[in-house]
Amino acid sequence: MNGEKVLVVEDEQHLAELAGIKLANAGYRVLTAADGAEALAKIKNSKPDLILLDLTLPVKDGFEVCYELRRDVETRDLPVILLLSKGQDPEQVRSMGLRVDDFLVKPFTPRDVLAKVNTLMARARYLKEANPLTGWPGRQLVYNQVARLLEEKRQFDLLFIDLDDFRIYNQVYGFAKGNEVIKIVAHTIRNAVADLAELDYYLGHAGGDDFLVLLPPQTGEKVGRTIVERFDAGIREMYTPEDRERGGIVAQNRQGINKQWPIMTISVALVSNEHREFHDPLELDTVGTELLRYAKSMPGSNYVWDRRRA
């Protein structure tokens, strides 16, 4: 387990010990907290890799702890297994808008605890191997979440994001400057999403200058338009004064002829299942690719959306 840390937040001591002993025997480093305030302090100071979080806690309950975690950029992706009492409904918890990775209903067995922790930790290890520039997972993880939402018959918005003329910028300015642009795009996306009150979203870096954002329903338009606006407001600073003055880059095309390419722009396409039925993430991928192609056919940065209804 490479010394991965699990924080068990449970005010019933025998349950905390039950989970802690099983996890420690499996190789995890176990921390404990008996109330929500203590849990938040330990999360800040000890930076656990996963949290077992009781819903009913003194001082601050599990909802409050989870809300604070999801609002903080440093902890928003921290895996959380919520511990529920018998009779508490996981779907009711999900409906409150807080993203929880899994649930355990009391009374649970030590084997149940270890199985769920192992599953989430395996996913967390995969995420740590994500794109080195952004630290975001790739396309497949986002599509796994899309598949889950489709199976649960839940609505969502999915943004496809791509830069225009990024290849020319890389060619002329070099890959180091191109990487800076990619980081700027990621920062722009994250800040646009952070403006939302909703917390249940996933950010994906599909590679190069391709990004994905999975959002709650009816939020994609606001985020998409914000990304376009903020990208356009800042991208010119990544060019030399001469290129800014002329409005783009002059370089040879593949035929060896000098040509001017404009300042980079961004294309954002929204696909939603709110008014159209999808059965597979690849169906959304096909529609998103078509929309991006359409957006790129128009000058400047563009936000487009799927108008078809079924």
- For the chain, the structural domain boundaries read 5-128, 139-305
For residue 97, is it left (φ>0), alpha (ψ between -120 and 50) or beta? left
7-11, 70-74, 132-136 — most confident range: 7-11
- The stretch 164-178 carries a mean pLDDT of 93
- Which of 3.50.50.60, 3.30.1120.80, 1.20.1740.10, 3.40.50.2300 would CATH assign to domain 5-128? 3.40.50.2300
On the question of pLDDT at 33 being above 60, the answer is: yes
The pTM of this model reads: 0.66
Query: Distances in Å between the alpha carbon of 153 and those of 101, 216, 280?
Result: 18, 13, 12
Q: What percent of the chain has pLDDT over 70?
A: 95
Strand 210-215 and strand 157-164: the pairing is antiparallel
Please give the Cα distance from 36 to 63 (Å, whole number): 9
CA distance 224 to 21: 47
pLDDT band at 99 (very low <50, low <70, confident <90, very high): confident
pLDDT at residue 188 tops 80 = yes
Domain 139-305 fold:
Alpha-Beta Plaits (3.30.70)
Q: Can you tell me whether residue 185 is helix, strand or coil?
A: helix
